[in-house]
């Protein structure tokens, strides 16, 4: 069976990507029905027992910036080895809530870790591996802040300032411009029905 496809959902906290993840998975699964392929849904940080342990630490414990980035990539290496690569080799499709673009956006853009350090880790952990498609849910930071304030108790990233999220959003958009052939940008300030019409087009194209 031909290799599967790897699709990632990205966006700053409050952009609304999680609202659409399971719906998108269902749409993909319906399209793949009868082909012998499955849709594997996962997340970062996380996706494996080790990754989930690291996720709890990363989202809740204060730490040095470089430690944070190294742990993100350690969880990612395990994720690739144990979940993503085996699924793609089987011919399954993988849908992930965040991947490396999030590390560039949050640890690079938001926290200010030099890009060359992240690029070195990216080459080491992934080689040239990248998603087949990244759907970026883009939203003004003030709108995202309003949404976050109405959600559950925030983790350490969700508690960051609007200035932090402005830098994070800017880095997401820079990454999208740099790799325009794999990014699809969704204006997630639009109503849910409008967004899902756009996502239906994405599924059809895939």
Annotated binding site: 11-18
* Count of other CB atoms within 10 angstroms of residue 9: 24
Binding-site residues for ATP: 11-18
Torsion of CA 200, 87, 38, 29, to 10 degrees: -10
Integer Cα distance of 29 and 108 in angstroms: 34
Integer Cα distance of 138 and 128 in angstroms: 25
Integer Cα distance of 38 and 95 in angstroms: 11
6-10 and 133-138 beta bridge pairing? parallel
Tell me 91's DSSP state: T
């Amino acid at each position: 069976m031909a290799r599967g496809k790897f699709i990632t959902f990205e966006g700053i906290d409050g952009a609304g990507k999680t609202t659409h993840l399971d719906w998108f998975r269902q749409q993909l699964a319906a399209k793949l029905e009868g082909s012998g392929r499955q849709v594997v849904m996962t997340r970062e940080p996380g996706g494996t027992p080790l990754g989930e342990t690291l996720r709890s630490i990363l989202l809740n414990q204060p730490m040095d910036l470089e430690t944070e980035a190294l742990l993100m990539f350690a969880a990612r290496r395990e994720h690739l080895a144990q979940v993503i690569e085996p699924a793609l080799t089987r011919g399954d499709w993988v849908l992930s809530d965040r991947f490396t673009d999030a590390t560039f956006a949050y640890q690079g853009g938001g926290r200010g870790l030099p890009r060359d350090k992240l690029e070195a880790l990216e080459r080491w952990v992934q080689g040239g591996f990248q998603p087949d498609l990244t759907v970026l849910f883009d939203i003004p930071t003030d709108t995202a802040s309003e949404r976050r304030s109405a959600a559950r108790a925030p983790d350490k990233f969700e508690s960051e300032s609007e200035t932090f999220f402005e830098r994070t959003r800017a880095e997401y958009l820079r990454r999208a411009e740099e790799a325009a052939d794999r990014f699809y940008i969704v204006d997630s300030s639009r109503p849910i029905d409008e967004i899902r019409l756009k996502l239906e087009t994405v599924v059809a194209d895939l």
